[in-house]
Structure formats: C-alpha cells, structure tokens
Amino acid sequence: MCRVTNRVMFGGIGVRVATDVYGCEGGTSSPFVRGGVAEDGQDATENDDAGARPRGGRAWSSGPGPGSEHAIEVSTHSRHSARPLAPTKPRIMPAWYSRAWHDAGTTLETLQLLIIGVSQGCVYGLIALGFVLIYKATEMVNFAQGDMMMFGAFVAFSLIDAFEWLLPYVPLLGDLPGAAFAFAFVGTLIVMAGFGIALERGVLRPMIGEPPFAVLMLTIGLGFVLRAVAGAIWGNQPRALDSPFAGGTFDIGGLIIGYENVAIVAGTALLCAALFLFFRFTRIGVAMQAASQNQLAAFYVGIPVKRVFSLVWAISAAIAAAAGILVAPVTLIDPLMGFIGIKAFVAAIVGGFGSLPGAIAGGLLIGIAEPFVALHLPPGLSEVSAFVILLIMLVVRPEGIFATLQQKKV
C-alpha cells in the first residue's frame, strides 16, 4: 500500500490531499505512476516556448518489494494556477487485486495460528477426557492426570529405544519404517493401562468413603511422586522422542502444516471415535455408563462396580499416555511437562465437567485462543488466557458449554 499526495489549488492556496492506494510496489522505479510523473526520484521536464517547465511533479518510493510502506508524492496544479501544468494521472493496479493479495497474507497467518491452536487444543482435550472419565465414574478428581501423561511419554521413550535395538533381529520387521514407534505406542498404552489399574487398586480404592478433600490431596501428592520418580529414572534434562512424523511439513499454497500437528489431530479424532464406539456398542461400556449414573443401582443389577472403576482408571491412564506421545514431537519430554494438566483441568470445566464432548470442546477453545492472544496481545497474556476464559465461563455459564442438568437413570 502506498500513499499518493496530490497538491491541488483551492483559491490560489496549495493543499496536499493524501490518498492510500493499494497495489504499489517498491524498487528504483514505480510501475504504477506514469504519464507526466517522473520515475527514479528525478524531475521530469518538457521544453516548450517558455523554456523548461515541469511536466509533472516528483515521485519517489521507499522500501523494496511488496508489502512495504511507500510514499509517492505527485504534485500537480489546476488550471486556475498562475502556471498551469499538464494534469497528472497516475495509473495504479486495481484495488481488488492488491486487497486480495493483502487479505491472502492475513488469511494464511490466521489459518497457521488456527492449525497450531487446534493441535494444542486436542492435547488439552485428551487430558481433559481423563479428568471427565474418572469423575463421572468415581466422583473423584485426579490432579495427577497431567503427570500420568508425562510418565507415559517417558515410558514410550524407553520402549522406542528398546524396540529400535530389538527389531533389527526380527525378520520382516527390522526394515519397516516406523515399526519401533508403532510397537512402542501400543506397548505404552498397555503398560499405562496396567499402571492405572495398579493405582486404583493400591492407592485409590482404600480411600473409598473418605472425604473428597483427602482424595484430592492424595492425587496432588501422587503427581509429586510421579515427577520425582521420572526425574530419578530418566533425569531432569529434556529429551526428544524419536517419532516418524517429527520435523516434516506440508506446504499448501504457503500454508505450512507440520506432520506432528496432523498426527495430533488425527490421533485425537481416532481416540474419540474409539471411545464413542466403546461406550455405545460394548457391554462393558454400557456398564460403565450405568455405574457413572448410580453406583448402588448398578451394583444391585450385577454390574461389578469395582472392576468398572479399575477399567476407568486404565482407560484414563492410556489416554493420557497417548496425549503425551502425540505432543512429545512438539515439546520435549521432561518431568515438568505434566503441568499442562492444569490447563486441561480448566478445559474440562469450561466444556462441562461431566461431558466428554465438552472436554474436547473446552480444550479446542483454550488451545485456539492461546496463539491468537500471544500474537495480538502483550507478551505473557497467552499463559493466563485459559484462566481468563475460565473466569468468563464461570460468570456467564457456570455449568460449562455442554453440561446440562440430567436426571440419573436407575
């Protein structure tokens, strides 16, 4: 965009009129100013009977290339002036063309931030799913959910190293690209599911009947223990997870999409679809829903409520591990990465603490808001944007986005 300044005469007084013009390009000459306007910063003159007189004015531009700010001055006189000059008629590119070029850049920037936000929001949503699952089934809040994600990422790190050493000795599997990551992914889900069952039976089950505050403090202490154990085993230095989709990018018309972002979104979609099918079409899934509605009634009709509780913890731990594996290529693994669970807890509240779709929606809302806040608002506000959204939601809709008052089915 350039600014064209025309000097016209009104009652013998010269007035400069500035107009913003789209489509200007910089360089040594301005291709959009012709016909009596000098190029390359020189005055154009034309000899006639009265001698040399200016043919136009003087034009200059600053800043190379499109997108920079230019200043083009065109000085003309009207026929009422004492020295009439030939009127200058600068030719410019059509406004729609340059506006489209400018809007395209803005659109690409918006889409880029949107992709980053969606991928980050999917991670928040997956961790929030674990919060909601445990709360619906047991009416407990597991503040160690983020640390279980961290622990699962470290388990995957060790299993990938183990399979990369082992698979070359296995026929037909050593040459498959990404085989070590695939086996480690499945193995991590199994290990973390067993870890969740062990936690429920050894730590949480003895707390049945205790005040909710005691259980809450227990899960907070469990998070400290997991961080200490991870630091003792793997160290406190950040580590990179070897994954097949780390570092690659798609370039779609200037829009850069990382393989890891696609993997996070696709993995979240697959996990959500698997959970939907599990709760909708399997007997144990229906039993888990019944236990979450009324534990005593479910026990009376023969549903093994304690076994259901263990399975819920296993699923929550496996989902947390999947989130850790998906986010590891974007952020390095370290014992403190589990603090992301705080924002996931906020996402669960924003979406509605008893709603599984609400957990995903709350995570996407917070994840999308963070990059836009980081770009358009002062530094540091993106870190607290999730809590600002939480405060607004608690004032406007305390029950969350998707939560509704429901009667328990017996």
Domain boundary among 278, 313, 340: 340
Q: Are residues 193 and 336 in the same domain?
A: yes
CA 198 to chain centre: 34
Domain boundary among 39, 59, 93: 93
Residue 194 has pLDDT above 90, yes or no: yes
Q: Are residues 67 and 193 in the same domain?
A: no
Q: What is the CA radius of gyration of the chain?
A: 32
d(CA 41, CA 116): 45
Confidence of residue 125 (pLDDT cuts 50, 70, 90): very high
Beta bridge partners of 73: 5
Residue 247 has pLDDT above 80, yes or no: no
Residue 379 lies in a domain: no
Q: Are residues 63 and 143 in the same domain?
A: no
Q: Are residues 188 and 275 in the same domain?
A: yes
Domain boundary among 306, 340, 374: 340
- Per residue in 203-238, pLDDT tens? 988 887 788 888 889 999 999 999 999 999 999 899
Residue 388 lies in a domain: no
Confidence of residue 61 (pLDDT cuts 50, 70, 90): very low
Q: Are 125 and 308 in contact (CB under 8 A)?
A: no
Provide the residue range defining the domain that includes 247.
Answer: 118-340
Residue 282 lies in a domain: yes
- Per residue in 146-193, pLDDT tens? 999 999 999 999 999 999 888 888 777 767 778 889 999 999 999 999
- Decide which of 39 and 212 is more confident: 212
Neighbours of 231 (CB within 10 A): 15
Work out the mean pLDDT of the chain and round it to a whole number: 76
Q: How many domains does the chain have?
A: 2
